[in-house]
Amino acid sequence: MIRQKEAMTPKERVKATFAYQTTDRVPVNYHANRGIDNRLKAYLGLKPEDDEGLLDILGVDFRGIGVPYKGPHLHDEIPGRKVDPEWGIRTRWIEHSKGGYWDFCDFPLKDADESAVAAWPMPSADDYDYSDLEEECRRYEKYALHVGNPGLGCIINTAVFFRGMEQVFVDLAIDDAAGLLLIDRFMDLHFERVYRILDKIGKKVDFVWMGEDLGTQIAPMISMEIFQKHIRPRHQRFIDLAKAYDLPVMLHTCGSSSWTYEDYIEMGLKAVDTLQPEAKNMGPQYLKDHFGGRLVFHGCISTTGTLSFGTPEQVAGEVKETLGIMMPGGGYCLAPTHSLQDNTPVENVIEMYKTAHRFGRY
C-alpha cells in the first residue's frame, strides 16, 4: 500500500545517506505516542503488539539496539504517581480529549543538597542485560542499527526530571554543586552503559543516537557560555567514544538549536535530529543553506502543524516541499520532528509515508 520496489537494503540506504551518496530513496523513520500507534495498527489490520509489522508497512529503515534493565527496584511506589523503579523519577497521568500522557512531577531532588544527591539510589552499568545484543544485531541485520536514543547523554531534560526546569537552569548558571553532581552521576552511567554495548557490538551497528533540548521555539534556552562550559565537554566524550568505533553520532535537538551546530560540527557530530521547522532558524531551507553537506538531517516533518491539523492533501504538499529542499545532494532522512501525537489523524500519517516513498526517490 505504501512502499515501492527498492534497490537497496535499509542499512545500505542509511549508510549512503550519512555519506551524502546517492540512494534509491530517502530513508524514513517513525516514532509515535501509544494512542496514535494503536490507532495506526488497527487501521492497518495489525495487532497492538505488532511493532515490527507496522514498521515494515511504513518502510522504516532504522532499528534501535538496547539493553533491558535487570536490576532491583530502587524506588518505592507512591499513591497517585508512577515511579520509575530505576531512577525514582515521578510522573502523573494527564488526560486530554484525544488520549493522555504521563507528565513529570514532584521533582524529588529539587531542593536536595550535594549529600542528598550523592545518596540518591541510581542503577549501575551492571544492572542491565547485555546478553542478547548480538542476537538483536542478527535479527535486524538488514536495517540501520543505532545504539542510544534521544535520551542518551541528554543533560538538561534529564536533570529536569529530578530538579525541575527552573532549578536546572539555576544549577547551570551558578555552577551549583548539587545540580552538577546529579548531572555527572547519570551521565557517567549513560557513558559506561554505552561503552559496554559498543564493546560487544560496536562493529555491527551503524551510529550512536543521543540528545539535548537546547532551544525554545523562538530562542536558545541557555547562553553559548553555559553551553560551552557545561554541555559541550560532557557530550564530547560520547562523540569521542563513538569515533573510537568508527561510528557517527546523531543528536536530537528540540526547539531552536542551530545556534550550537557549528560547535557540534567542530566536535565531530555527523547528524542532527528533530529539526522543528516552526522554531527559529530551524526551517528546511535555513538548515540546508547553512549546514548542508556538513550535517545529515533527520526529521523536519512537524508533529504540531499540518500533520495534526491539516488534511491529507496538505500533508502531501508539505512533505513534497520538504523533500524538494532537503533531497538535493543527499544527507536527508525523513521523520516526524518528535513522536507523532495522539491528535494526529491516521490518514495524515499514512499520507506522510506514502508521499515520502513516492516522491523521495532519486
Q: Which domain holds residue 173?
A: 10-72+111-359
> How many residues belong to the chain?
362
Residue 355 belongs to a domain with what CATH number? Answer: 3.20.20.210
Host H or E run for residue 339? none
β-strands 332-336, 99-104 pairing: unpaired
* The pLDDT value given to residue 136: 98
- Give me the pLDDT at residue 99, please: 82
Cα separation, 226 vs 141, whole angstroms: 40
Predicted local confidence at residue 100, as pLDDT: 86
pTM (two decimals): 0.97
The string of pLDDT tens digits covering residues 98-153 is 888 899 999 999 999 999 999 999 999 999 999 999 999 999 999 999 999 999 99
Residue 95 placed within a domain: no
- Record the cell numbers describing residue 264, joined without a space: 557540534
Task: Name the strand (E) or helix (H) holding 274.
Answer: strand 271-274
Parts of the chain with a pLDDT under 50: none
Q: What total of structural domains would you count in the chain?
A: 1
Asked, for residue 92, whether it belongs to a domain, the answer is no
DSSP for 84-144, written as a single string? -TTT--EEEEEEETTEEEEEE-S-TTTT--HHHHHHS----GGGB--TTHHHHHHHTTTSE
Cell of 250: 546523531
pLDDT the model gives residue 1? 61
- Residue 39 grid cell: 490507532
Let me know if residue 96 belongs to a domain: no
Task: Please report whether residue 82 resides in a domain.
Answer: no
Closest CA to 128 of 62, 78, 185, 65: 65
Task: Output b/e per residue, 60-74; b: 16+ Cβ within 10 A.
Answer: bbbbebbbeeeeeeb
Q: Is residue 84 one of the residues assigned to a domain?
A: no
Q: Is residue 209 part of a domain?
A: yes
**pLDDT confidence of residue 101:** 87
Residue with cell 535555513: 286
Burial class (CB in 10 A: 0-12, 13-18, 19+), 281: middle
Q: What distance in Å separates the CA atoms of residue 252 and residue 214, rounded to the nearest whole number?
A: 10
Domain membership flag for residue 329: yes
Residue 103, in any domain of the structure: no
